[in-house]
Structure 1
Amino acid sequence: MNTKTLFNLGRALLALVGAVGLMSCASPIERRISSNPEIYSKLSDSDKVLINQGRIREGLSKEGVFLAWGRPDNVAAGSQKGVKTEKWTYLGSQPVYTDNWGWGGGWGGYGRYGRGFGYYGAWDPYWGGYGTSVTYIPYKAASVTFRNNRVTEYLRGPQ
């Protein structure tokens, strides 16, 4: 390979890395829109403004909700007065912090019942230790109900 070819390959690689870097800075909404331009182009201007803000409205299509909020965590299909319905549920997670004070037990220590079960304290990461641990608890963050593929009801926030 000559120097000019190597230079052009280097420039192409640099441009590719830059493009990937810019895409990683895009919000999830922007990524869904750029991955689905045909859906976005069919929306009204007012719906495009809502979706760009991550908001939805009654009457919005399923595709519009997907662009604004993403794929649901759960989908339930049903029927109401002979009309097909669908409910999308979105889950969130909330951290719960627990302080560990070193109380724990397990095999291999000395304790109340002799060797084999007892207190481990700070040096046993599985049965005790000092510090704070975090557990994430799921909750229903939002739900959307559709009739005839249009939003008829939506709730956002802890439910």
Structure 2
Amino acid sequence: MTTLLEFGSAWLIFTFSLYQGLLELNEQLSVVREQKGQSEKKVSPWLWLLPPLKVRNEKKRTLKILAENNVSRDQLSKVIGFLDKATGWFYVALGGWLLAIAETYSLVEEHVEEHTILIFVIVLILLTGMGIANGFYRTSDKRKKKALMELENQLQQLNK
């Protein structure tokens, strides 16, 4: 039972730390989107497979855009704050993921007698993919619109 709790806890730490990092990075990107003349190409979404590299490249892109637009010191301060928070959360997510790897291996080793490594790798890939997909879904415009509509409907029901 303890192994199962540790397994679930580690994956929750990974998934929701990654989600928080994505929220912080999206906040920073919204500040950048306000600027005109964004000549810099977007950073490849494939870099999410290596979050620290994605954050570093987004930071370089952001700074170039901000430099083109002569932004205020206050705006620069906000961007740096968002980037620092996002970076911190991605390292917490990395730590959670490493912990989740260990807990997943312990759980598979404890409950599976044959093909332990193969099953471990399959479970690891599936859960990592689900964790990343969860973060992207929760920060998507589609989900935000859906949540807003649901909240508006609930408010309308209360006002009747």
The interval holding the TM-score normalised by the smaller chain is under 0.3
The two structures have a TM-score, normalised by structure 1, of 0.21
Q: Which has the higher contact order (CA 8 A, sep 6+)?
A: 2
Q: Please state which structure has a larger fraction of its residues in strand.
A: 1
- Higher helix share goes to which structure? 2
TM-score normalised to structure 2 length: 0.21
Larger Rg: 1
